[in-house]
Homo-oligomer: A and B are copies of this chain.
Amino acid sequence: MIYDPDPDADPASLTFTFGGAAPVASIRPGTVLSTWTRDCFAGRIRSTSDRVSELCDPRYINPQTGPFYVEGAEPGDTLAVHFVSIEPRESFGVSTTVPFFGALTGTGMTALLHEALEERTWLYGIDREARLVRYEALDSHYEVDLPLDPMHGTVGVAPGLGEVRSSLAPGDWGGNMDTPEMRAATTCYLGVNVEGALFSFGDGHARQGEGETCGVAVETAMDTVVIVDLLKGVPCPWPRLENDAYIITTGSARPLEDAFRIAHAELVRWTCAETGLSTLDSYQLVSQAVRSPVANVVDTAYTMTAKLPKTVLPGIEPMGGTHRRLRGQAATWLAGAVVRGT
């Protein structure tokens, strides 16, 4: 299925929330969805002299593609979103400082009496062939290439309790988690809170550091292919990810240790469920084997990930083998795409 958003749509007509927006399309579980996403500034920042505070309406930041109504999805189910491919649509990305936003500045929450840091904009060349993005300093002659590592900062469903949340917020519905783990060949599991799940995603990053320290990654529009699948009767209290090497939990909260606690308690519980280990045995195994990279320390909640290598889960197919199955489906689709020339 192809969903091609109108590139000329009025910004006010786009989707800026999880929940609260009418579905743009209905999709059947198992569907391969080929679509694209705007960058978080909806394309308004295009040169080093552009300023977010001048060009962007704060109500219209971080537009999402969707929401998609997933047929048959009900509260208590889990959506499995497999990222088949994520590719920059343009040959450049942008990053900026934004007044009172970021990890190393006072903000609206960490409310201090300082003036804002200076607002600046960086432009990155994206070389899709060489798989590189090029950093260029503004105040001196310094250039360096970083690996292209495309991902989506924002992936989620409608929240529970009737809430509608800004696409700037992460939480148990997913949303703006800003983890670099959300790359191609990864499956993201999201617990369903409302009928149809109302899945959407956006905020493509050509790459980001862990923590997204200044608050803005290498932002760019993305061509993305996902398989949207549904696990009936399987709960998923917080978003999970899985790739070929790791099972990964997330936690989004403040302070950051609470995000750590959620992600690691979820990983202990997930490991119990897959292995039959007791809670304390699982706590012990996770304690010695986990990797714990920060996702973001800038959004309305901070996000931590906890990664358990599959080597400590020998013979186990997490989530009933969903990831392996979707990897196979993706390989078939990608082989076909080569044939189709897309």
How many angstroms from the CA of A288 to the CA of B93 in the assembled complex? 12
Contact of A302 with B257 in the complex, beta carbons under 8 Å: yes
Contact of B104 with A268 in the complex, beta carbons under 8 Å: yes
Instruction: Determine which of B212, B213, B283 lies in contact with A214 in the assembled complex, contact meaning CB atoms within 8 Å.
Output: B283
- Interface CB pairs A-B, < 8 A, 30: A20-B164, A95-B287, A97-B283, A97-B284, A103-B257, A104-B113, A104-B265, A104-B283, A111-B266, A112-B112, A112-B265, A113-B117, A113-B279, A113-B280, A114-B115, A137-B278, A137-B285, A138-B281, A139-B278, A140-B281, A146-B312, A207-B288, A209-B288, A210-B292, A211-B264, A211-B292, A213-B264, A215-B287, A254-B258, A255-B257
Which 9 A-B residue pairings sit nearest by Cβ, starting from the closest?
Answer: A255-B255, A256-B256, A210-B292, A209-B290, A164-B164, A139-B278, A214-B287, A111-B265, A254-B254
Known pairs A213-B286, A256-B256; list 16 more (Cβ under 8 Å): A16-B161, A111-B265, A114-B114, A120-B284, A122-B284, A142-B281, A146-B289, A146-B312, A162-B166, A163-B165, A207-B288, A209-B291, A211-B306, A213-B264, A216-B287, A260-B294
